[in-house]
Amino acid sequence: GAVVSQHPSRVICKSGTSVKIECRSLDFQATTMFWYRQFPKQSLMLMATSNEGSKATYEQGVEKDKFLINHASLTLSTLTVTSAHPEDSSFYICSARDPTGAWNEKLFFGSGTQLSVL
Amino acid sequence: DQQVKQNSPSLSVQEGRISILNCDYTNSMFDYFLWYKKYPAEGPTFLISISSIKDKNEDGRFTVFLNKSAKHLSLHIVPSQPGDSAVYFCAASDVDSSYKLIFGSGTRLLVRP
């Protein structure tokens, strides 16, 4: 079946550094990808919608200059957390939509990235 | 303001019995509802969905019920198996939202052997 690959699975960085997370669709071309964030014991919160070839659409309250999203190809979207701070520590998950089928069954999630900022 | 709520953070059931996970929503514009299963350090995997034009959808051991008037849906798993132990998220969307999902906070299900 379709697979979405997300890397790295875990990253520890120093405060002030930038971290890039990659999300790849392996079996299909994803015109739309989504980035979520999850705090412990809380729900997945949508951060932004990434559209191939155009600017990402950010949800209210998400700083676009802080969380840079690039969707340069139909199989790759990246999320860069710039100048990371401890409060950015969280579990980040991407999802990608396979446009060839019913969307509810064609939305696949990556395995997530646990970011820890020291 | 949480638009999708799962008020039970955890549920424990005996193997072979029925597991019932509940979800409430507040946005009447939601017209599609999904259930996802998630293991630690992994992304959610799709389980079952239901459109607002239906009140029930069944797939094997999994059945989702939708009560639009009460803005409530539930996931029934019967019979429950130890391998079903995971966190279950309900999610909702509307046709105008371009496939964006709003998730509940999840319910951790433990199926005891």
Task: Return the pLDDT at A103.
Answer: 58
- Backbone phi, then psi, for B78, in 5-degree steps? -150, 130
CA B77 – CA A109 distance, rounded (Å): 23
> Does B1 have pLDDT greater than 60?
yes
Task: Return the pLDDT at B98.
Answer: 62
In Å, what is the CA distance from A107 to each residue of A8, A94, B68? Answer: 21, 10, 24
Asked if B101 and A46 come within 8 Å (Cβ–Cβ), the reply is yes
Asked if B43 and A111 come within 8 Å (Cβ–Cβ), the reply is yes
Task: Return the pLDDT at A76.
Answer: 93
Contacts of B43 in chain A (CB under 8 A): 4, 6, 93, 95, 108-112
Contacts of A95 in chain B (CB under 8 A): 43
Task: Return the pLDDT at A2.
Answer: 56
Q: Is the Cβ–Cβ distance between B22 and B76 less than 8 Å?
A: no
DSSP string, B52-106: TT-SEEEETTEEEEEETTTTEEEEEESS--GGG-EEEEEEEE-GGGTT--EE---
Contacts of A97 in chain B (CB under 8 A): 99
Residues A28-65 pLDDT 10s: 888 889 999 988 878 889 999 988 888 899 999 999 99
Q: Is the Cβ–Cβ distance between A78 and A70 less than 8 Å?
A: yes
Q: How far is B16 from chain A (nearest CA, A)?
A: 27
Say if residue A8 is preceded by a cis peptide, omega within 30 of 0.
yes
- Nearest-Cα residue of chain B relative to residue A43: B105
* Average pLDDT estimate for B10-15: 97
